[in-house]
Structure 1
Amino acid sequence: MSGSLGGWIHKNSPIPITKKPDLNDPVLRAKLAKGMGHNYYGEPAWPNDLLYIFPVVILGTIACNVGLAVLEPSMI
């Protein structure tokens, strides 16, 4: 199993364990210093997801629950 993935998964492990990042790599160090260690595409989470999407999802979930509670109280 590890041969096809280039050694990223250790052998004889019931749970796949990924390889730890090489912190001596200058490209990785530059990305971490720039604040892009978690994001490969460079798209910031603020304001795209945090401001515009999450409140819509939260309010939609609340609206669905309130709608079900009003229309069909035994369903909740």
Structure 2
Amino acid sequence: MGSEESKIDLAKEIIHPVGWKLKVKVRWVCFDAFHGRDSNFLCSLIKMRPPFVAYVPDNLHIWLEPFQMRVPVREPGKRG
């Protein structure tokens, strides 16, 4: 544990080994809005797949399906 690590980095270091390296069945992970504000942390949890409950700031946008930015298909006779 280095002095340059943030609280979020430390949380990742705690959660990841317990579930994957030690093969301990994690029933769920719960954390406050400090950790819930970091979208990279939330994405890493989604990839690790433990069920989790998080407080998130009210201005954080969450998609239930993967977000894809794309140009809509042009339909003949309609303005784009």
Where on the TM-score scale, by shorter chain, does this alignment land: which range? under 0.3
The TM-score with structure 2 as length reference comes to 0.23
Give me the TM-score of the superposition, normalised by structure 1.
0.24
Structure number with higher strand proportion: 2
Higher RCO structure, 1 or 2 (CA under 8 Å, sep 6+): 2
Bigger Rg, structure 1 or 2: 1
More helix by share: 1
